[in-house]
């Protein structure tokens, strides 16, 4: 049930629009300005398209395209004109928006950043991608965790980016911190289509959480992004899916955070996010609340190591033209980015 794509909005509903934005080529500051204007116009289109829409979501790389260009001239800052334009677009159209920027990082590689801006033009969520798509992406790994905010109509809202969603721990962390709706923005191309679909569904089902997911769409002459706007209900079922691959199509649905809350408190069978921390509560009071997972304890101790660690062949981005890094995560950065 998706309220006919959000046309019939319930009092407790949140209507989401996923923009399968046409994949751009952005090489110069002029290109960046043109694409910023394009996103602003698409925000207005989303509002004209559906007066009930609460939140419009743009894919990862909506602003910069898929070139992985780290040219400082086209990197963004939070006080720069691109973010200002997105804030104004949300205000002008009385709508929440989710946007993507590549943010300058003095002394290090740029951050891949997702923003959620409210309908008054205020940034409510700032997220740095935690798992860049190695070995292809050069972005600095995020260092701020997964924020959860109060979104439109009182929903608990979070955002992860692209490859993040291939790690079940990311969706679990978002849900553990209270997210009822998790956005996943991406630039994925067609070879990832099947894994995109089943991870979006499993992230929803395993955490009793709505997932709303969208990729860039169309071709830039080199890459072919797939669109695949996809909204999954908390039981893992797909309630909206952009299968046409049509660029600039907006995939819409109403989702119900109140039903997420109801399931999380009332389900017994398959209430997995609760049961994970209360193993076997039928047999022992409150269930076992230990941590029997070696990978978790090793990671927390800074000792994560696979049995086949020494056999892994690809461990940096040199195969994709990036110099092997020498700086350790969270160590001091150089005075200026190269």
| pLDDT tens track for 101-123 | 999 999 899 999 999 999 999 99
CATH code of the domain containing 45: 3.60.110.10
- The residue-averaged pLDDT of 17-41 equals 98
- DSSP letter at 108 equals S
pLDDT band at 125 (very low <50, low <70, confident <90, very high): very high
Query: In angstroms, rounded to a whole number, what is the distance separating the alpha carbons of residues 243 and 313?
Result: 35
The domain containing residue 39 runs over which residues? 3-275
| pLDDT tens track for 53-96 | 999 999 999 999 999 999 999 999 999 999 999 999 999 999 99
| pLDDT tens track for 7-16 | 999 999 999 9
pLDDT at res. 3: 78
336 pLDDT higher than 90:
no
- Quote the number of domains for the chain: 1
Q: Is 76 left (phi over 0), alpha (psi -120 to 50) or beta?
A: beta
333 pLDDT higher than 80:
no
In a domain, 311, yes or no: no
pLDDT at res. 27: 97
In a domain, 91, yes or no: yes
In a domain, 130, yes or no: yes
In a domain, 131, yes or no: yes
Residues with Cβ within 8 Å of 129's Cβ and at least 6 positions away in sequence, in order, are: 60, 111, 112, 113, 114, 139, 141, 142, 160, 161, 162, 163, 164
Residues with Cβ within 8 Å of 92's Cβ and at least 6 positions away in sequence, in order, are: 44
Look up residue 190 and give its two tokens.
Answer: 């067609």
162 pLDDT higher than 90:
yes
Q: Are 252 and 50 in contact (CB under 8 A)?
A: yes
| pLDDT tens track for 209-249 | 999 999 999 999 999 999 999 999 999 999 999 988 899 99
In a domain, 316, yes or no: no
Closest CA to 7 of 53, 55, 45: 53
Query: What is the crossing angle of helices 81-93 and 29-49, to 10°?
Result: 10
Pairing of strands 250-255, 14-19: antiparallel
Query: In angstroms, rounded to a whole number, what is the distance separating the alpha carbons of residues 37 and 85?
Result: 8
pLDDT at res. 335: 47
In a domain, 16, yes or no: yes
Q: Are 123 and 149 in contact (CB under 8 A)?
A: no
**76 classed as catalytic:** no
pLDDT at res. 332: 73
**232 classed as catalytic:** no
In a domain, 294, yes or no: no
pLDDT at res. 337: 43
In a domain, 47, yes or no: yes
Q: Is 200 left (phi over 0), alpha (psi -120 to 50) or beta?
A: alpha
| pLDDT tens track for 289-318 | 999 999 999 999 999 999 999 999 999 999
Which residue in the list 90, 129, 180, 254 is annotated as catalytic?
129
pLDDT band at 4 (very low <50, low <70, confident <90, very high): confident
176 burial level (CB within 10 Å; 0-12, 13-18, 19+): middle
- DSSP letter at 286 equals T
Please, what's the b/e burial string for 63-87 (b: 16 or more CB within 10 A of its CB; e: otherwise)?
bbbbbbebeeebbbeeeeebbebbb
Sign of CA dihedral 239, 176, 101, 116: positive
Which residue in the list 9, 60, 98, 173 is annotated as catalytic?
60
Distances from the Cα of 161 to the Cαs of 41, 234, 318, in angstroms? 23, 19, 23
Q: Are 40 and 86 in contact (CB under 8 A)?
A: yes
Sign of CA dihedral 133, 134, 138, 141: positive
| pLDDT tens track for 279-296 | 999 999 999 999 999 999
pLDDT band at 2 (very low <50, low <70, confident <90, very high): confident
Average pLDDT value for the chain: 96
Closest CA to 58 of 9, 103, 116: 116
Which residue in the list 76, 90, 162, 217 is annotated as catalytic?
162
292 burial level (CB within 10 Å; 0-12, 13-18, 19+): exposed
Query: In angstroms, rounded to a whole number, what is the distance separating the alpha carbons of residues 295 and 305?
Result: 8
**217 classed as catalytic:** no
168 pLDDT higher than 60:
yes
């Amino acid at each position: 049930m998706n309220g006919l794509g959000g046309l019939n909005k319930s009092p407790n509903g949140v209507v989401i629009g996923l923009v399968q934005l046409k994949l751009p080529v952005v090489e110069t500051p002029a290109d960046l300005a043109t694409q910023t204007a394009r996103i602003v116009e698409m925000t207005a289109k989303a509002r004209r398209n559906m007066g009930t829409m609460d939140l419009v979501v743009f894919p990862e790389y909506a602003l910069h395209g898929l070139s992985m260009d780290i040219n400082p001239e086209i990197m963004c800052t939070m006080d720069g004109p691109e973010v200002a334009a997105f804030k104004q677009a949300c205000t002008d159209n009385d709508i929440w928006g989710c946007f993507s920027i590549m943010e300058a990082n003095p002394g290090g590689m740029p951050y891949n950043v997702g923003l959620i801006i409210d309908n008054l033009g205020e940034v409510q969520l700032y997220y740095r991608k935690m798992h860049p798509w190695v070995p292809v992406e050069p972005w600095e790994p995020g260092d701020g965790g997964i924020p959860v905010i109060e979104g439109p109509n009182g929903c608990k809202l979070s955002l992860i980016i692209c490859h993040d969603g291939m790690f079940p721990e990311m969706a679990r962390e978002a849900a553990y911190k209270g997210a009822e709706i998790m956005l996943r923005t991406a630039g994925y191309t067609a070879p990832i289509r099947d894994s995109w679909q089943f991870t979006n569904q499993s992230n929803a089902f395993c955490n009793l959480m709505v997932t709303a997911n969208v990729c860039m769409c169309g071709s830039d002459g080199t890459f072919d992004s797939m669109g695949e706007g996809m909204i999954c209900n908390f039981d893992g079922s797909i309630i909206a899916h952009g299968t046409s691959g049509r660029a600039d199509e907006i995939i819409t649905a109403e989702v119900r955070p109140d039903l997420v809350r109801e399931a999380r408190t009332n389900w017994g069978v398959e209430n997995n996010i609760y049961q994970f921390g209360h193993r076997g509560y039928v047999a022992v009071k409150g269930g076992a609340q230990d941590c029997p997972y070696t990978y978790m304890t090793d990671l927390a101790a800074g000792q994560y190591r696979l049995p086949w660690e020494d056999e892994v062949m690809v461990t940096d981005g040199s195969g994709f033209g990036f110099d092997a890094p020498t700086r350790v995560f969270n160590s001091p950065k150089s005075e200026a980015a190269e």
